[in-house]
Amino acid sequence: MIRIRYSAIAAMAILGGFVAAPAMAYNSHDFTTTASTAGTTAYIVGKHNDDDFAAAHKFAHSQRVALRREAASGGGENLNALADLLGATDNQAFGHWMQRHYGALYPAHPAQANLVDRIVALQRS
């Protein structure tokens, strides 16, 4: 009985290692990409909290449909949340800015850069 229990535990540990290894590699690569982008762009924006900037990237990706709709109208709860993550002091002004720059932020051909990177680039120009 004890042998069977140890065998079952060992089998689960080995299987878990095989399943977790690709997930860890994906997360590690994803973290490196996010950290690199956040580290270089956060300095440009003047933000000192890389965690918020990385969260803004993740949020913009996960809420891309709602953000696009709200950017067209100039406001909404998702735009307010993104503004907070980017350190904007006036959410209403941020929403109006997004509406004025909608064409540049959402070009006819899909852009390769994340929305946050497009916002930063447009604010710098």
pLDDT by residue (tens digit) across 48-75? 467 788 899 999 999 999 999 999 999 9
DSSP structural state of residue 46: T
pLDDT by residue (tens digit) across 3-55? 555 454 555 555 454 444 444 444 444 433 444 454 445 445 554 467 788 89
Half-sphere exposure of 16 (CA within 13 A, CB side): 6
* Residue 98 · residue 74 · CB < 8 Å: yes
Taking the C-alpha atoms of residue 122 and residue 125, their distance in angstroms, rounded to an integer, is: 5
Taking the C-alpha atoms of residue 9 and residue 122, their distance in angstroms, rounded to an integer, is: 55
Give the residue with greater pLDDT, 40 vs 120.
Answer: 120
Buried b (16+ CB within 10 A) or exposed e, 78-100: bbbbbbbbbebeebeebbebbbe
Query: Alpha carbon of 78 to those of 85, 113, 122: distances in Å?
Result: 11, 19, 20
Note the pLDDT of residue 55.
92
Type of residue at 67: L
Taking the C-alpha atoms of residue 109 and residue 5, their distance in angstroms, rounded to an integer, is: 58
pTM exceeds 0.75: no
